[in-house]
Every structure is written in C-alpha cells, then in structure tokens.
A and B are shown apart, each in its own frame.
Chain A
C-alpha cells in the first residue's frame, strides 16, 4: 500500500491516462491506410479512392476527401463471414491473427512519448516518465515484442493447411529473423553513444548532444532498410510475392482475420517509424532547442505551436479554395454538391484558424514565467502538460514522416528476389552494421565519449 499512498491523485491520473498511448498504433492505422491509398494514387497520377460518401440529411453527401472509403472497407471486412478451410487446425487458425494484433497494444509501452514530466504538486516534486513502462531494457523489450509477430505468421501458415500459406510463412519467418539481427546491430552504435538501453536516456542524450542521424548516418540507413524489410513490405515483400505465392501466409484468411493481419502490418510500420524517430531523429526533441529552453519560455512556445497549426489550417483552406474555384469552372455534374461540402470545410477551417490564433495570443500574453514556474527546474502542472503536448506533437510529426517513407518506398521500388533479399541482409547490411559498430566504439573511446 505504500506505493499507492506515496503517490498523489494527479500522479495516478497521469500514469493511468498514459495507457491511452497503447492505442496510438491503432489510430495510426486509420491514418496510414488512406495515406497509402491516396499516396499510391498520386504517385501513379491517379486520384485514389474518393467516391464513397456519407449522406447527411438536409445537407448532402460528405466525402471527407475520400476518407469514407476506408470506413466502408472496414465495415465490409467486419461483416463478412469468417470461415476456415477444410482440414485447418481450427484453434491455431483462429488464434494466429490475434498475435500480431495483440503486440500492437504492447509495443508502444516503452516508447517515450514526451520528456519526463517534473512538476510541483502541493509542495511536492512529482516526476512522471514519458513512457508507460520506463524500463532500462526498453529497446530490447521492444525488439522482443516485435519479433513475436513472427509467431502469428508461422501459426497462420501452418494452421491454414495450404502450401502457399506455408511457404509464405516460411519466407516471412526467415525475413523477420534475419533482419532482426541487422536491426539490432545497426542500432548498437547509438546505444553505445548514449550508453543506455533506456529509450528516454537515448532521447535525452540526442537532445543534449546531436541527433542519431548525424552521429550515425550509416547506422541510420542500415536500420531504415532493415526495418522496412522486417515489416515485410515492398520492396522486401517476397513473402507475399504474388507471382510465386498467392498472398503469403494470409492466403487462406478472409474477413476480419485478414483485417487483423493487415492492421498488424500497418501498426508494425507505425511502431517501427516511432522507433526510428526516437532513436535517430531525436524523439520528442526539437532541433536546436532543449526542453529546458521550451519550459523557460512556455507561453511563447505554445504560441508558436498554435500559430504553426493555424498556418497549416490556412494552407488547407487555400488548397480547398483553389480546388473549388477550378471545380466551379468545370461542367461536372456533381460540382455543386462537392462545392457545398467544401463550404463546410471552409467554415471548419476558418473556425480552426481563429481559435488557434486566439489560443496562441492568449498563451503568449498570459502564460508568463511567473505562472509557469514555482522554482528553478521545477514547473507547474500547466507547464509540464504543455511541454508534453509539444513533445508529443513533434514525435508524431517525425513518425508520420517515416511512415511516408514506407509508403513512398513501397510504390517506387520493384520487389527484390528472395535470394537477393537474403544476400542484402546477411552479406551487406549486417557487415556494414558490424563495421560501423567497431568504428563507433573506437571513435567513442578515442574521443572520450561514454
């Protein structure tokens, strides 16, 4: 009971609220699927899926820039009949898709979503870490969890009783296992420099020294390639090579079973991009600005954040305006109903701009250092929450950038042959990572690092 009583209710509240971060990968699925489909469309000079709509009484159709399509697909997958092929091992067949999807909720535990919150509450200094589990073996835990998703593939391939599924699962396993090695080894350079397996420590080292991508550019490239390969996406999607195997280990799956695999893949991308952003791009930190500086000028930082968001809203409004002008000039028969929808976006956009600018001005004027700090190094709850919000947004922006890299690479590069993938993994990337590790170790020793 000491542990419970030693914490104030605010501390408990924030600690429990942090569990909401478990759902971040699931939210990212909602973001990534439209991003992938529209992104693929744009790269091929198509428009991408944009025709589904929700009909709202007394208003008309709402297309949300094609976002409704994903809801429709999800609903369709959800309501389809689930069936198992004849001769399949029923228990394993039905359990397999749950494994990659369950890991989705576990992996975000060790990622630091914001810097440690240090604030004053009722005369006591409260310290709350930014990750759900502030573990000293955070990186290892994350790798362990993401390797577990190979079990899902193995079980799915084995239990479906289909040779295509089986071969696909073999390939997936081989890929995942061999690229895990590269992943771990390319990471070691950064760990060596930071001197810790704790992700929070790694981020704070990057914040106060230099970002991982600058200190370890070669490791960054190796890690990026290895993690793309580990998620089993193009150009490394030999496990799903349609010319050879029908669709890989989930050939025999339909309905929401397939949906779980699909979502597991996307959330794997999400976790990996969060990992890259954390390890190589300074995590939640902003370039050239330390957390202490932000906290010292909390009002100004929040104002800048609000105004950046307001600028983005204005850019959105400009795009909507330009497109509606073009659309109004055409003779397309649906132009009036689309324009009506765009008027709605205009109203929402302008409201957002006004609110954001006002919020920025308020925080600029009223969130003065007297309000923000009780003592040197110790902030009020407001400052701590504001810092956390800025950190979280920065991390999300960085990770979305890397998610885009995944999509970008997928729709650009042709698929590698299976033996080429294995050659690249074992003979090239592994060796580069090893050499990089040795060089880093020697350089760090000579230059007097950790």
Chain B
C-alpha cells in the first residue's frame, strides 16, 4: 500500500526563499490584524464562561429513553454491552411486571472512565433506548466511583431540554406524554 507522493519541484523564486518569506509574513500580518482590530471575531471561546455550541449529533454523555409511564425503554437485551469495544456497560436484567415485555433492566452502569464515546452502543440498541445526545461534555467528580453512571443517573433527564425531539417528549413531563400514555394503553405498577 505504499503510495509515493510526488512533490512539485520548487521553482527558482521559491528556492530564493525571500518571496516565500514575504508571503508568510503577509499571512501572519493578516491574522494579527484581525486579532487586533476584530478581536471579537476570533474563533476562540473563553471557555468556562462561554460554552461551545454543541450539535445534537455530538456523542456526549449517555441517557436512557423513557416510556410514557416513566420506566426505561431498555429491554435488557445486552446488545449495547456486546457492541461496546471498551466493555464499559454492565447490565443486569430482571423479570418485567408488564406482560408485554419480557425483561426489564435492574442495573445499568456505564463506566465513563472506560467509555471511549464511540457511539456503537447507541447504534446497537434495538429499541432506541440508549442515546448520547445530552450535550454534557464535562465530567468532573471527586472519586472514581462517581464516574460510573447508574440507572438513576441515566434516566434522570428533563424533556424540556430536548424540545425538538418527539421521542423525548413522550416521557413524563413532556408535551406528548398524555397522548403517549393513551397509546401505551396500560397503567403499569
């Protein structure tokens, strides 16, 4: 697979170096002038005070989607744990009370110190239970144990933070929750 990249030989102006120097100097002068006279146009964000604009498909911290009744959508199939290249997802299943669902998740831990944020778990999930669209990119905790996100942490999100997402609005507190409950049909204990 060795690929030889042929470089264009320099012409005599380039070999003289003086003209290229001046070109480089002009480039840096342009940038310096922009920084000086148009300081506010610099692409840098003064970070902790100003937050970057994160797109919704950015792979950030995970969350578990909820059904209309507030139970996690996860059916504990273990496909995310199987897909995970870093082996950071730990799932324990238990029997579901709902006759339409075979299993429900009892323990769902994601170790964010091990996670590589590849997003394969999200791809693997057959019921769209796991998502990485929280836009939370800062993880700061005191101990290693706190970096492990449990089921409560993963399901603890607010539908108001995802106004465009119809799926999220079906969770309790969302705008489409009542409608979704009707469709879901059954009150689950």
Contacts and interface: CB of A to CB of B under 8 A. Distances in A.
A323 to B, nearest CB: 5
A43 B32 contact: yes
Contacts of A43: 28, 31-32, 35
A35 B97 CA distance: 70
A332 B24 CA distance: 35
B46 A332 contact: yes
Contacts of A326: 40
Among B32, B39, B51, the one with the most A-chain Cβ atoms within 10 Å of its Cβ is B32
Interface string B14-30: 00000001001101110
B50 interface: yes
Given A46-B44, A47-B44, A319 B25 contact: no
Contact of A408 (B32, B43, B44, B46): B32
A323 B32 contact: no
B23 to A, nearest CB: 10
Interface residues of A, number: 27
Contact of A41 (B27, B29, B35, B40): B35
Contacts of B35: 38, 41-43, 45, 47-48
B50 A330 contact: yes
B139 interface: no
A228 B34 CA distance: 25
B37 interface: yes
B90 interface: no
Listed residue (B21, B35, B37) with the most chain A CB atoms within 10 angstroms of its CB: B35
A42 B32 contact: yes
Interface string B39-66: 1101110101111000000000000000
A391 B22 CA distance: 31
A327 B28 CA distance: 26
A416 B64 CA distance: 57
Given A319-B39, A323-B40, A326-B40, A331 B31 contact: no
A44 interface: yes
A42 B34 contact: yes
B184 interface: no
A39 B43 CA distance: 16
Contacts of A8: none
Interface in A405-429: 408-409, 411-413
Nearest to A38: B35
Given A408-B25, A409-B25, A413-B24, A334 B49 contact: yes
A413 B28 CA distance: 10
A413 B40 contact: no
A370 B21 CA distance: 54
Contact of A42 (B25, B31, B48): B31
Contacts of B44: 45-47
A6 interface: no
A247 B21 CA distance: 25
A7 interface: no
B44 to A, nearest CB: 5
Contacts of B50: 330-333
B60 to A, nearest CB: 19
Contacts of B25: 408-409, 412-413
A323 B39 contact: yes
Contacts of B21: 412-413
Contact of A327 (B34, B37, B40): B40
9 contacts: A42-B42, A45-B42, A46-B42, A47-B42, A47-B46, A48-B35, A319-B39, A334-B46, A413-B21
Across the A-B interface, give the 6 residue pairs with the lowest CB-CB distance, nearest first: A42-B35, A332-B50, A326-B40, A334-B49, A332-B49, A412-B28
Given A43-B32, A408-B25, 6 more contacts: A42-B31, A42-B42, A47-B44, A50-B46, A332-B49, A412-B28
